[in-house]
């Protein structure tokens, strides 16, 4: 039997059972896929993921559900190095590591004006068919305005959060059809 990562089998089941499967899943990095701000580290450090992150990513890959990354990290070099070390490079249709011009300021490189539009341009997938996971409420509320199903991650990515996102995505589909 093929080795599976924690949560992978359940994630596959949940994705297969989803009434409205997404065409793309977009993940933030810091405090969404991994439990730290990568700016606190250097490219020489050894990163790790939240316990169920890899199982979720592998489940999406198993089911051919495209994925993307949207991060405002001020240290995209560290993010890229960590993705390489974790074997995540090549798993994503689009990787947007776009820092704000000065730290986490609120005037530049927002996820709704920069990251998600870049992902949309690269993949041609409509916003309404995407699910976006992020741990910061301002990102969630902004990206939700693009009609992306946007889900707040409070304690790291988990299969339970994935399930919440899929339910929300199905509900959003219903309300879009009513409009
Ligand atoms: Mg984050």
Is 75 exposed, middle or buried (CB count within 10 Å of its CB: 0-12, 13-18, 19+)?
Answer: buried
Residue 106 has pLDDT above 80, yes or no: no
Distance from Cα 99 to the centre of ligand 1, integer Å = 12
Distance from Cα 36 to the centre of ligand 1, integer Å = 9
Give the long-range contacts of residues 45-48, CB within 8 A, separation 24 or more: 45/82, 46/85, 47/82, 47/85, 47/86, 48/86
* Top-confidence residue, 102 or 67: 67
Let me know: does 127 contact 147? Beta carbons within 8 Å.
yes
Tokens of 55: 């199982």
Distance from Cα 4 to the centre of ligand 1, integer Å = 26
Q: Helix, strand or coil for residue 151?
A: strand
Torsion of CA 151, 157, 159, 161, to 10 degrees: -20
* Top-confidence residue, 86 or 106: 86
Active site residues: 28, 30
Closest C-alpha to 133, from 98, 159, 103? 159
Q: Helix, strand or coil for residue 23?
A: coil
pLDDT range class, residue 176, cuts 50, 70, 90: confident
The whole-number average pLDDT for the span 26-31 is 98
C-alpha 1/C-alpha 93 separation (Å) is 28
Whole-number Cα distances in Å, 53 to 11, 28, 96, 105:
10, 12, 19, 28
Domain positions in the chain are 8-178
Distance from Cα 61 to the centre of ligand 1, integer Å = 22
Q: pLDDT tens across 44-84, in order?
A: 999 999 999 999 999 999 999 999 999 999 999 999 999 99
The CATH architecture of the domain made up of 8-178 is 3-Layer(aba) Sandwich (3.40)
Distance from Cα 154 to the centre of ligand 1, integer Å = 10
C-alpha 74/C-alpha 102 separation (Å) is 8
Distance from Cα 169 to the centre of ligand 1, integer Å = 21
């Amino acid at each position: 039997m093929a080795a599976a990562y924690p949560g992978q089998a359940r994630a596959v089941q949940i994705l297969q059972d989803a009434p409205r499967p997404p065409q793309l899943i977009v993940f933030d990095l810091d405090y969404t896929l991994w439990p730290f701000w990568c700016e606190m580290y250097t490219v020489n450090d050894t990163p790790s993921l939240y316990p169920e992150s890899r199982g979720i990513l592998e489940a999406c890959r198993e089911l051919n559900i495209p994925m993307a990354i949207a991060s405002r990290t001020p240290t995209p070099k560290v993010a890229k190095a960590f993705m390489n070390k974790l074997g995540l490079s090549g798993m994503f249709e689009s990787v947007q590591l776009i820092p704000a011009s000065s730290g986490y300021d609120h005037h530049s490189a927002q996820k709704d004006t920069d990251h998600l539009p870049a992902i949309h341009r690269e993949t041609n997938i409509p916003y309404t068919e995407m699910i976006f996971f992020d741990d910061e409420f301002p990102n969630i509320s902004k990206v939700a305005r693009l009609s992306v199903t946007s889900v707040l991650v409070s304690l790291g990515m988990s299969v339970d959060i994935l399930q919440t996102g899929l339910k929300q995505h199905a509900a959003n589909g219903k309300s879009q059809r009513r409009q």
